[in-house]
Amino acid sequence: MKKKKVYIAYTGGTIGMKPSDKGFVPQEGFLENTLASFHEFKHPDMPEITIRDYAEPIDSANMTPEDWYLIAQDIQGNYDDYDGFVVLHGTDTMAYTASALSFMLEGLQKPVILTGSQIPLTQLRTDARDNLINAVYLAANHPIPEVCLFFHDHLHRGNRCSKTDADGFAAFSSPNMPPLASIGSTIKVREHLIFKQNKPGLNVQKFSSPKIAILTLFPGISADLVKGFLSQPLDGVVLQSYGSGNAPIKNQALMDAIREACANGQVIVNCTQCLKGSVNMATYETGNLLMDAGVISGYDMTTEAALAKLYYLFSRGLDRQTIREKMMDNLRGELTIPQ
């Protein structure tokens, strides 16, 4: 049987850093040289690997939509030559990148798995070794045709994840969807959850530069603040509301500002501040009036997914009404539409 091939892109992040007098720092070629000494990659069940160290490793706090596009282009350029792809990435914005790539990579039919670590690969108590070995093994032997995120024994759908622990090894959660696969003494793949794109042939949709923002409600938020925020020339807004999609409706000036922004063409998507659960604006008056104002439901999308989806849809040159409709469609498995 022909040996599988996996392409590893080291974009930056803790996993490939080396110690120095100034703390841990990235160094070109360091990761490849380190992995060459790992006997696990010589095991017959492991694929052939190719490692690309990015010439200028990116701290994930500095990640931009332009960087997402470079990663997507890298995958596209090597797509025909490999069975799967592993993207090594810093943890801080990994969920944003995973969400963005899930929309950018149209027609994806091969696994793309993001992973990283909380402690560098070279350190004694590192979580990097297990994350990397399992991600590579899954990419080669379990052809799940999605952008995924692997961390601490779980393979999640990338656009369902958020980083929920700054220090722990189980740094990522997928609160509204079970893992696609769980790793223990055996590998359990939940085949019924896998999302398959019907569009054949990989195409990368570059993100343009729509003006997208996130507005978080909090008790005591002033109408002037909201009005000033929404008076900017914004195209789309992720509104982080309370509970199942509620807002302070007694603050009439605040509600008027939201209503006016929607009337002026802004696409405002309602996502809950809660870690788990879904927006249902029909449940309470405090959500119903948001719906009447023109706000659309983000259902159970993460903030990261809603943001990436707005970038994606605006980049396709669609009219505002179509964008509003497609934000509520399940395009990449990013949301659950209530039955």
pLDDT confidence of residue 16 = 82
Q: Is 11 a residue of the active site? A: no
Among 11, 14, 272, 286, the active-site one is 14
Would you list the DSSP string of 216-281? E--TT--HHHHHHHHTS--SEEEEEEBTTTB--TT-HHHHHHHHHHHHTT-EEEEEESSSS----T
Question: pLDDT value at position 21?
Answer: 79
Both 227 and 153 in one domain: the answer is: no
State which of 204, 222, 252 marks the end of a domain. Answer: 204
Catalytic choice (11, 34, 50, 91): 91
* Residues 164 and 228 reside in one and the same domain: no
Active-site annotation holds for 115 = no
- Examine the domain organization and report whether 188 and 51 are in the same domain: yes
Let me know whether 218 and 118 are in one domain: no
| Position 111 in a domain | yes
CA distance 97 to 112: 12
Residue range of the domain that includes 192:
5-204
Mean pLDDT of 280-298: 90
The tally of domains found in the chain comes to: 2
Q: What is the mean pLDDT of residues 113-141?
A: 93
| Residue 216 sits in the same domain as residue 321 | yes
- The model's pLDDT over 88-108, given as tens digits with 9 standing for 90+, comes to 999 999 999 999 999 999 999
Tell me the CATH number at 101. 3.40.50.1170
Same domain, 79 and 41: yes
CATH number at residue 244: 3.40.50.40
- Residue 95 identity (one-letter amino acid): A
The last residue of one of the domains, among 204, 236, 251, is 204
337 or 272, greater pLDDT: 272
